A and B are shown apart, each in its own frame.
Chain A
Amino acid sequence: MTTPLQSVVVRFSGDSGDGMQLTGTLFSNLSAILGNEISTFPDFPAEIRAPQGTLGGVSGFQVQLGSSHVFTPGDKADVLVAMNPAALKVNIGNIRPDSVIIIDTDSFTGKDLEKALYQTDNPFTELGLPESQQIVPVALTTLTKESLRDSGMDNKAVLRSKNMFALGLVCWLFNRPIDKAVHFLESKFKKKPDLLTANIRCLTDGFNYGQNLALNINTYTIDKSDDLPHGVYTSIAGNKATAWGLIAAAEKAGKRLFLGSYPITPATDIMHELAARKDVGAVVVQAEDEIAGVCTAIGASFAGCLAATSTSGPGLSLKSEAIGLAVMAELPLVVIDVQRGGPSTGLPTKTEQTDLLQAVYGRNGECPAVVIAASTPSNCFRYAYEASRLALENMTPVILLSDTYLANGTSLWKLPKLAELPEIHPQGVPEELHGQFNPALRDPDTLIRYFAPAGKEGFEHRNIGLERDQLKGSISTNPDNHAAMIRNRAQKVAQVANRIPLLEVYGNKDADTLLVGFGSTEGHLKAAVDILNSEGKPAALAHFNYINPLPRNTQQVLSAYRRIVVCELNTGQFAAYLRTKTEGLRFEQFNSLGAQPFQVNDIVEYVKS
């Protein structure tokens, strides 16, 4: 029997060495090719190599696919693939009561049960799985061994292929033809023909196993999406999209791209990506520490590059003083903060929105910088591009907030062409200032200072982190001058509001209730608003990508709603910020503090209560 579905959440889970990330990625891309919307999120252990079969070593990959409005990887899984008993135990809270659970029966035995700390030899009863769960027992290990009996591969290599057998089975379950997966495997294992053959064999046998034995379970179909605009797509993770946004912006602006960075979870992939992109001319300095990361970038900016540094919360703390220098010296700089659980070392692999106020305020002195936030994995591209544009045009540091959820999750990305992207006009200097330039000279209307990169003849000047005279550019401690310069720097950042889009409302604009969020929670909040509206509880969403300055119509939009609920993954930093930036509004808060993405259902329940 085949049941059509609107959307489904599939979770692949197994030992770190079981290849669950690859399996999940292949399945997601396969679904995307068939026209589904997808949203994915990997959930891997913090340990590099936890002992095999243990709870700490479980690696998961969740994907939601559907025919419309797939905004998140989903709250709880409809289908769980559990490669071992540890994977089942770890995910018991992540599955729906009526889910399909595919298990490798070969692994649900003595030693593996012990490693996963089961007390009995009946894991299902022990975990209290309800009758409504459909358990699909498959001897994955035995079947994989059989598939590869004549391959001449050693036992270890054979066992590594069982993820492909599982993938074949899941493909059958969702009526996904496997020829496209074969194509993916061909490009992945180009240089390892033996592995390629083995993987394709297992994938095919897994698919046929489902089909031939006609397992006594439902299969499903999911229609193509009709929401997606026609075009060419890929699926991309946030960190990669961020790196590519910088690449595109540098080329558009006619600047050299420079990244100064220091390894830190979960931001490091941005550096990895750019270090590999020497073909497009990216200069990457892996610095000796976080401070040197931002400082090399400031040096590169002084020399005329599009300069960026990537980090996470602890690194942003270390970079504070140098960001202040870029504010004072009025140099373009992109600072990417991929937020994680804090404070201190905190929860390096988990997601949180707790750096917001640090980004907006965390520097000495009156020190305004532009702050923006990406809100989906793929729009990390757009906002990295936007951060670059705003930095180069306004001669200011721009802090771009991302987080673990965006960094590692993927979503569909409609491939852009450079020509279609917004123009970038980096601030330059009028030639008539030749021979009389100083770094305090600014455009009288926008207050953006003129910029001459080191090396430009006739524009030699001395820049400083000390307060400078507003006319001459030299060191000044004059009280009136300092007051005027504080106002200049503030106004310069405030006028950026004229160069960003207005705030838009999603959902039922006439509702009484408005959800408000920023950054990576956009998908969850949209999904919640959709559910509320479908259940006859009118709701709207105002989601912010621009934090400082806020869109010009913020007060006007928010004041149209009777009930405003600010939803965020912290104790209420955005709500606190909005209270200082608006007048006469009451902000209710919905906060989640587990260093996990929202559960859509929790938001819905809260708003209904």
Chain B
Amino acid sequence: MQAQDFKSDQYVRFCPGCGDHAICAALQKAMAEIGVPTHQTVVISGIGCSSRMPHYLATYGFNTIHGRGAAIATGVKTANPDLTVWQMTGDGDCLAIGGNHFIHSIRRNVDLNICLFNNRIYGLTKGQYSPTSPKGFVSKSSPFGTVERPFIPAELVFGARGTFFARTLDVDMPTTVRCMVQAHQHKGASVVECLVNCVIFNNGTHSWIADRETRAERTILLEHGKPMIFGINKDKGLALDYSQGLMPRLIVVPASDQRVLVHDATLADPALHRMLALMGQPTEAGVQPDDLPVALGVIRNVEEETYDEAVNRQIREVQNKSRIHSFDELVGTLEQWEI
């Protein structure tokens, strides 16, 4: 199948220059690579710029209400586990109004592929700070700078005992496609945080790492089973340093250093995944927290039984054991008498 097969007839209405264009193209490419036919693919969204995505895909789609995409997607997948279900959501839709559904879909490990478009701003309502905007961020609803501490999405995912977390950049098409394909292959709730630029209301929010010149130095692409190496010249690596107090911390060492870590996305304990995911995540406007690279790629990928599988397995097990299979047989089990 070709990416073209997943394009709907709708004109794509994202703003010119918006990062969502690239994610949309990457998704169509990933869907073609995955090869699940359009009628068995369902794309659910809530409200926001990112939630327009279903309209541009030739699959089954449902652009629902603000924040509830995860709950509706949970219903679709549990009702029919044979469907491949994607959820398109943004930092407002997913982490503010839909925060509860987000963490519970992850906790249950529903087999959903969740693309979380993080542009750190409300775009469709025209420029308010979001739950991922760094403290001090100036917006229409925070003219003197927001006083709120932001979420870092990965922390929520790990806090909810997530089994899959990946991060990608709108301008990095190959990584985006790879993350999406792996999200599909992973059984369970797979969160792909897509760092996207809002060209109108939050232009350059990810430019620290997105700019072509600096990207290789300021990001690291994690690949399962491969050493954690980055830099234009692939000369740097990540290692754990145990010298500072009780807790180990990640440090940058020369690529040749024997301590350079090899990425294991399948570690059951998420402690190291969390440390990797928190690298370079700004929580205050204008302040880069450390000189560590921002981790891209699949950071965590562990297998556990999915909710939809478990629900349907339990039903089958009971049905196999039970002598009741129909309404009439069920009625027969009641205490009853003739009048």
Does chain A bind chain B? yes
Complex alpha-carbon distance, A287 and B105, angstroms: 10
Which residue of chain B lies nearest to A36 when distances are taken between CB atoms in the complex? B339
User: Could you say which of A33, A277, A457 contacts B337, with CB atoms under 8 Å apart?
Assistant: A33
B1 CB to closest chain A CB (Å) equals 14
Whether B39 lies near A29 (C-beta < 8 A) is no
Q: Please, which residues of chain B bring their CB within 8 A of the CB of A300?
A: 75-76, 78-79
**A447–chain B nearest beta-carbon distance, Å:** 22
Query: Which parts of B49-93 form the interface with A (CB within 8 Å)?
Result: 54-55, 57-65, 68, 71-80, 82-83
Q: Are A234 and B335 within 8 A (Cβ)?
A: yes
CB of B326 closer than 8 Å to a CB of A: yes
Contact code string B261-300 (vs A, CB < 8 Å = 1, else 0): 0000000000000000000000000000000000000000
CA distance A236 to B334 in the complex (A): 10
Across the two chains, which residue of chain B brings its CB closest to A257? B79
Chain B residues, CB < 8 A from A285: 74-75, 78, 311
> B63 contacts which of A288, A458, A465 (Cβ < 8 Å)?
A465
> Quick check: is A279 within 8 A (CB to CB) of the other chain?
yes
| A225 with B75: CB separation less than 8 A | no
A459 to B38, CA, bound (A): 10
Assess whether A258 is interfacial by the CB under 8 Å rule.
Answer: yes
**Prevailing SS type, chain A contact patch:** mixed
Spot the interface stretch: A196-204, A303-311, A348-356, A577-585. A303-311
Q: How many angstroms from the CA of A567 to the CA of B74 in the assembled complex?
A: 43
Q: B316: nearest residue on chain A (CB-CB)?
A: A278
A247–B44 Cα distance when bound, in Å, is: 28
Contact B328 A418 (CB under 8 A): yes
Residue B189 is within 8 A (CB to CB) of chain A in the complex:
no
A48 interface contact, C-beta 8 A = no
Give residues of chain A (270-325) contacting chain B, Cβ–Cβ below 8 Å: 277-283, 285, 287-289, 291-292, 295-305, 307, 321-322, 324-325
- Count residues of A near B (Cβ-Cβ below 8 Å): 71
Q: Is the CB of A280 within 8 A of B330?
A: yes
Residues of B within 8 A of A458 (CB): 39
User: Which residues of the partner chain B approach A258 to less than 8 Å between Cβ atoms?
Assistant: 75, 78-79
Cα A418 to Cα B331 with chains together (Å): 10
B4 in the interface, Cβ–Cβ < 8 Å?
no
A449 close to chain B: CB less than 8 A: no
Question: Does A298 contact B55, Cβ atoms closer than 8 Å?
Answer: no
**Does A460 belong to the interface (CB within 8 Å)?**
yes
When the two chains form their complex, are residues A234 and B60 in contact, meaning their CB atoms are under 8 A apart? Answer: no
Residues 99-119 of B contacting A (Cβ, < 8 Å): 100-101, 104
Q: List residues 30-76 of chain A with CB under 8 A from any CB of chain B.
A: 32-33, 35
**A465 and B64 contacting across the interface, CB-CB below 8 Å:** yes
B258 within 8 A of A: no
Q: Which residue of B lies closest to A231 (CB)?
A: B339
1/0 per position for B25-42, CB-CB distance to A under 8 A? 000000000000111101
Contact with B along A321-347 (1 / 0, CB 8 A): 110110001000000000000000000
A234-B335, A299-B75 known; A279+B10 contact, CB < 8 A? no
Is B324 engaged at the interface, CB distance under 8 Å to the other chain? yes
Residue in B58, B61, B77, B338 whose CB lies within 8 Å of A463: B61
- B residues less than 8 Å from A189 (CB atoms): none
Q: Is A139 an interface residue (CB 8 A)?
A: no
User: Smallest CB–CB gap between B27 and chain A, Å?
Assistant: 14
Given contacts A234-B337, A415-B331, A455-B42, 17 further A-B contacts (CB under 8 A): A29-B335, A35-B339, A225-B339, A231-B339, A233-B338, A258-B78, A282-B315, A283-B311, A288-B104, A291-B101, A292-B101, A295-B71, A295-B75, A300-B76, A455-B83, A459-B39, A463-B62
Q: Which 6 A-B pairs have the closest CB atoms?
A: A299-B75, A296-B75, A295-B71, A300-B79, A279-B322, A462-B61
9 contacts between A and B (CB under 8 A): A230-B339, A295-B68, A295-B72, A298-B72, A299-B71, A325-B65, A455-B39, A462-B8, A462-B54
